[in-house]
Amino acid sequence: MASGAADTPEDELSIPRASMNKMIKEVLPKIRVANESRELILNCCKEFILLLSSEANTICTEQNRRTINSEHVLVALEKLGFADYRQEVEAVARQCKDITAKRRRQSTRLENLGIPESELLRQQQELFARAREEQMLADQQQLQQLQADSEMHAAVQLTHTDDEDDYS
């Protein structure tokens, strides 16, 4: 049996090792952490996330909701005995919201350009017109080349026919 077939969905869930290593280096920059310890930390994090999300899901279900929101997670932290971390978690949640909002604002390219939409539309139409002109020119050149090739082919055919007439 292949190893992939035996894996359960829970076995596949994990935090990327690179992310975990980065977090460990940020928290403990001058301390070496053995690979076995890293693996243990990784498994503890995975287990904590599963436990917290399961508890938040239970709270969400009890409230007849279908989406777990931050309040469900905060209540789950308290129920699991981590009430002391509530303020820190709320601060991180605010930071995440701020970062997400900032990314959304930055992702609207039109607003970042500082060019009015009417000017952008004018530039777009100008580019389309230029592209049409270039395409028409290329089509004309191709047609002229085809006509020249056709005329040359006809001339060769005519010369070839004349040569045949000379030998008859």
Alpha helices in the chain (DSSP H): 3-6, 9-12, 17-27, 35-62, 70-79, 86-107, 109-113, 117-167
pLDDT at residue 5, rounded to an integer: 46
Q: What are φ and ψ of residue 80, in 5° steps?
A: -90, 0
CA distance 46 to 48: 5
Query: Looking at residue 3, what is its pLDDT?
Result: 44
Distance from CA of residue 129 to its chain's centroid? 33
pLDDT band, residue 105 (cuts 50/70/90): confident
Counting every residue written for the chain, the total comes to 168
Is 39 a residue whose pLDDT tops 70?
yes
pLDDT in tens, 58-78: 999 999 999 999 999 999 999
What is the structure's pLDDT at 116? 82
Specify the pLDDT at position 156: 84
- Judge whether 23 and 44 are in contact, CB under 8 Å: no
Could you tell me the pLDDT band of residue 158, with boundaries at 50, 70 and 90?
A: confident
Instruction: Give the residue with greater pLDDT, 110 vs 101.
Output: 101
Q: Report the pLDDT value the prediction gives residue 164, as an integer from 0 to 100.
A: 60
Claim: this prediction has a pTM higher than 0.85:
no
CB of 51 within 8 A of CB of 23?
no
Do 17 and 42 touch, CB atoms closer than 8 A?
yes
pLDDT at 1 over 50: no
First to last CA, the chain: 83
Quote the CA–CA distance of 53 and 76 in Å, as a whole number.
8
Q: Is the pLDDT of residue 81 over 90?
A: yes
Strand, coil or helix: 83? helix
Please report, rounded to a whole number, the percentage of residues in the chain having pLDDT higher than 70: 83
